[in-house]
Amino acid sequence: MTGDFRFGVNMTVPASRDEWVEKCRKAEGLGFDVIGAADHLWMAPPFPALVLAAEATERVRLNTYVLNAAFYNPVVLAREVTGTDLFIDGRLELGLGAGYIKEEFESTGMPWPSAGKRIDHLERTVKELKRLYADPDHRPAPVQKPGPPLLIAGRGDRLLTLAAEHADIIAFPGAARVPDGAQVKAEHADGILERVEFVRGKLNGREVELNVLTPQVVVTNDRAGAIEQASKQIAGLTVEQIGEIPTFLCGTHEQMAEQIRANRERYGFTYLTVLEGSMDAFAPVIELLK
């Protein structure tokens, strides 16, 4: 498996205007290709954050990684998406998910729907966005045609089937969840591969980009020791399994670069996203892989 890599950093910490500008400029200077804004109630509002990021940068793409679709009326969301894309000169990538944190729904006073109902809403949202993008009377009109690239994130059969039909980018979180939204354990390597193979079987010849979220990046000369330490924090996996998962990078920068190349061969992951706390630690790996 070959393919050029793309690297994203997801901004999760609210900050003042000056601080937000500074860290976005830093991310672009370090070589990241995409700056993302997460969508949780305790974080910065995604669309204003991306507009501000665009003002501070020149090259990077900007994405929502990822919106909780349940929080948005699809028609109103279409306005936010196309308007934001207009303001940032067509650099937007729209990331959507079904929502998974029960407490966030409760905080808004919204009911906590079943997984099936959340995916129902996600599907309605995706189809309504496409309909509105194609409507010649819709304003603001999409800058990118037929609309901003769509990323859908998740792991369940129905969600991945939806992603295989509609998404340009499919993102794998690498963690399984139970119905109340709690994260129960990291996904082992074979489980992630099974999910990738499942979605490939649904693509019907479509070409998509595969993304993986990598929330942990540990730079060390003692890779074995770092994996042993991680085994105390990552539930449900053996030391050997932790060393294989694509959602945990550790070792020297050279070892991490080799791990990412191996993940491209095994899973097809050419687009990797880290969290902002790993931005500095991961930057030398970008240089090695580009």
11 phi/psi in degrees, rounded to 5: -85, 125
Return the pLDDT at 119: 97
Quote the strand ranges of the chain, DSSP E.
6-11, 34-37, 61-64, 67-68, 92-97, 150-153, 169-172, 175-177, 183-186, 209-214, 216-219, 248-251, 269-275
Residues 7-47 have pLDDT tens digits of 999 999 999 999 999 999 999 999 999 999 999 999 999 99
Residues 217-255 have pLDDT tens digits of 999 999 999 999 988 888 778 899 999 999 999 999 999
Buried b (16+ CB within 10 A) or exposed e, 21-42: bebbbbbbebbbbbbbbbbeee
Instruction: Tell me the two tokens of residue 122.
Output: 């996600």
Return the pLDDT at 235: 77
**Contact 257/287 with Cβ under 8 angstroms?**
no
